[in-house]
Structure 1
C-alpha cells in the first residue's frame, strides 16, 4: 500500500535542455574525431599481410618492390617517348618499333608472374577468391629453388646454365648493354665537352678505357674529355695528389667536392678544395671554353659516370654558382635517382646534360666470377641496397681489401667497436657480421643474428663514408723516348703522346698548373689492396 503523494517522472525544462546540449556536444566531438580516423569508412577488411615468421618474406617483398619499380620506369619511358615524338614528329614506324620494345620489356617483367601462375594451377587455387594464392605459389617456388641450390649435384649441373641467369649478374635494367648504347651515345653525340665523373676512393674501378676511346673517336676527335674526381673529402690529401698526377697523364683532371658529406662520415680536410672553390674552378673552365669556341649556339656539356658517383651533384654545384639558384637535378644517397636524360641551362652559352648512371663495360674485371663482379659493383655503390640479393660477398671483399692495411682495418673495427675477430680457416666475415648484428641490434627471433641485415648495414656505412678506405694509383713506368716520339695513333683516336694532348686541352680551358709533378709521392698512406 502506497503512502503519500506519488513522485512525478517529469523533469524540469532546464535540466532536459542541459542533457540535450551535452548529448549534441558529445556527438559533435565524436564526428570530429572520426574525420581524423578514416578506418571506420572502409568496408573492406584489411589484408593480414605476410607474417614475420614466414621464411621467404624478404624475397617476396623484394619481388613486389621490383615489379613496382619496373612499372614506374615503364611509365616514365612511355612519357619520355611521347614527349620526344611530340617534339621531333616521329613517324608511325618508329612508334611501332618502340611499342615492340615495351612489349618485350613487359614480357620480361612478367616472367615471375607466369611461373607463379603455373604453380597455382597445380595447387588448384583460384586467385580471384584467394588473395594468398600468389604468396603460397611464390613460396613454393622459392622453397624448391632453395632446395635445389643446397644440392651439390644440382649445383654442378647448373654451372653451365649460370651464364644465362640474368638475376645473378644484371644489376639494374639500365646497366644493360642496350641502355649503354642508347643513353651513353646520345650524351656523347650531343655534347661538345664530356665530364667523366670518377669516385676518388676507387678511380680505376669507375673508369672504363672503352668509354674514353669512344669519346675520342666521336665526331673526328673533336670532343673534349675531362676527368672529374669527385668525393675528394673521403681520401687523404697525399692520396688525392697521387691520383691527380696519375690521371693527368691521360686526360685533364679536376678535383671536385660536389656536395656535403653524409652524417658521421670520416672526412679529410683539403686546403682550398671546398665545395665553393672547386665548383667555381670547374665553372670558370667551362665558361672559358664556351667563349673561346665562339659558336652561335650554346656549348653542351655531357656528364657521364657510374651510378652514385655524383653526376647530378656536379650539375647542382655548377648551377649554384649562378645567382644561387636552386638545385637543378634531384639527388640521393642511393644509386638510380636519375632515370632519364635531363638538360639544365646555365646561360645562353652553356648547357649541361645529366644522364642516368650506367655500369660501363670494362674488360679488366671480365675474368672474375659473376659473384665477384656483383660484389665489386656493390662496393662501387652502383647497386641500390634494395636490389642487393646477397651483400655478404661484398662485405667479404671489403674486409679482404681493408686487411691489406692495418690502419684501415683497425679503423673498421673501431667504427663498430668490435673485439678481435676469430677466423674459421680464412673466413673472418661470419664472425664480423655476427658481432655487427649484435652491436647494431640486427637480430631475429630468439636473438639469432640476421647476417643479411648486418651486411646491409656495413654496405650503407661504406657508401656514406663512415668506413674509410681507398686505393692507391698504379706505379708509373715512363715509356722509352724513341717509342714516345714515333708512337702511332692508337685505337679509338688516342694519340701516342697523350701528355701533349693534355697540355693542349688545358690551354683551351685555361687551367693553370694542370700538369702536376711526375715524381712519385712517398707520403701516400697505405691503401687497401685490390
Structure 2
C-alpha cells in the first residue's frame, strides 16, 4: 500500500507568502529562524531568492533540545559555509540579546549610508521568517520583553503581517510561517512532522512515528554523540536494536497501550517533542 506523501500548504500561507514578498521591499534585514534539531529541513529554499542582497541573521532556535556537541558541530559547519549562526532558546530568552545586536548592527551600516546621502537616520526594519512553529513569535516576544505576539505550540497560529516597534533602533515585522508550495524532499517533510513544524492534518502519526524510530536507529549507528545512549530503551525499556521501526512501534503498543498503535505513535511523538527522550538532533552536518 502506498500512502500519500506529506503535503501541507493551507490557503493562509499562500496569501501570507504573497504579502511577505511585498513587505520584503521595505525590509533591511531578515531574521531567518530555523529549528536547531533540523536546521536543513527548516531552511526555505526560496529565502535567498526573496532576499536578494538584503542582510540576513540566521537564528537556530530550540538550542536546549540538542546536545552541546551537536550545537558545536553545527556552529562549525555553518561557519565553514560563511555564515554566523545565532543559537537561541526563545522561550527562556537565551541568546536573544545577541540576535537583537546583530540586527541593529545592520542598521548602523544602513544609517551611515543614509546620512552620507543627506537622508535622516531611521530604525532598522527587520522581518522574522521561518517555517510554522519554529519559535518566531516567542523570539519576537523576547526581543520586546513583553507578550505582543500570539504564540502557541501548534503550527500556523500567526496569520497576519504586522509591524512591531522593538526600540528606537529596530522595527520588526512578524510574518506567518511559510513553507514551500511542494515538499519535494519527503525525508525532510517527515522531520518537519516529527518536530511539529508543520500542521498535523498533513500526515499520518503512525508513519511519522516509524520515521522517528528509523532516524533514531540510524543516528545511534552513525552519529552516536548527537543523542543520548539508546533513548528508546531508556524511556520505554524496550530495545529497538533487533527490530524494524514498524515492528518496534507495534511491540511498544502491545507493551504500553494494549496494542493501540495510533495512541502509541502519538505518545512517542509527544515524548520526543517535549524532550522526554532527551536532547536529540535529528540532523547531522553534511560531511561531519
Normalised to the residue count of structure 1, the TM-score between the two structures is 0.46
Aligned length: 271
Give the distance between the partners of 2:48 and 2:105, measured in 1 at CA.
23
Aligned to 1:279: 96
Distance 1:428 1:302, change over 3 A: same
Matches within 5 A, 1:52-131: none
Give the distance between the partners of 1:189 and 1:310, measured in 2 at CA.
24
Aligned to 1:398: 212
Instruction: Indicate yes or no: 2:20 matched with 1:195.
Output: no
Distance 1:186 1:251, change over 3 A: farther
Give the distance between the partners of 1:181 and 1:414, measured in 2 at CA.
42
Instruction: Indicate yes or no: 2:107 matched with 1:290.
Output: yes
User: Which of the numbers 465, 469, 475 marks the counterpart of 2:287?
Assistant: 475
Give the distance between the partners of 2:149 and 2:11, measured in 1 at CA.
19
Do the aligned partners of 2:16 and 2:160 also contact (CA within 8 Å) in 1?
no
Give the distance between the partners of 1:232 and 1:374, measured in 2 at CA.
21
Q: Unaligned 5+ residue runs, structure 2? A: 115-120
Q: Which has the higher helix share?
A: 1
CA RMSD of aligned residues (A): 3.0
Q: Which has the higher strand share?
A: 2
Aligned to 1:184: 20
- In the TM superposition, what is the alpha-carbon distance from 1:388 to its structure 2 partner? 5.4
Instruction: Indicate yes or no: 2:133 matched with 1:308.
Output: yes
SS at match of 1:283: helix
SS at match of 1:347: coil
- In the TM superposition, what is the alpha-carbon distance from 1:361 to its structure 2 partner? 5.4
Give the distance between the partners of 2:256 and 2:240, measured in 1 at CA.
12
C-alpha distance after superposition, 1:201-254 (max 9, x if no partner)? 111111134322331x2xxx2x10121011111112221112112123243321
Instruction: Indicate yes or no: 2:166 matched with 1:341.
Output: no
SS at match of 2:230: helix
RCO comparison, higher one (Cα < 8 Å, 6+): 2
Aligned to 1:85: none
Normalised to the residue count of structure 2, the TM-score between the two structures is 0.81
Instruction: Indicate yes or no: 2:60 matched with 1:229.
Output: yes
Give the distance between the partners of 1:467 and 1:175, measured in 2 at CA.
34
SS at match of 1:285: helix
Matches within 5 A, 1:90-489: 169-174=6-11, 178-179=14-15, 181-215=17-51, 217=52, 221=53, 223-248=54-79, 249-260=81-92, 275-276=93-94, 278-294=95-111, 295=114, 296-320=121-145, 326-360=146-180, 366=184, 368=186, 375-385=190-200, 387=201, 390-404=204-218, 405=220, 408=228, 410-418=230-238, 423=243, 427-438=247-258, 449-468=259-278, 469-470=280-281, 471-475=283-287
Q: Unaligned 5+ residue runs, structure 1? A: 1-151, 163-167, 261-274, 321-325, 439-448, 477-530
- In the TM superposition, what is the alpha-carbon distance from 1:331 to its structure 2 partner? 1.5
Give the distance between the partners of 1:183 and 1:409, measured in 2 at CA.
45
- In the TM superposition, what is the alpha-carbon distance from 1:415 to its structure 2 partner? 2.0
Do the aligned partners of 1:234 and 1:465 also contact (CA within 8 Å) in 2?
yes
SS at match of 1:228: strand
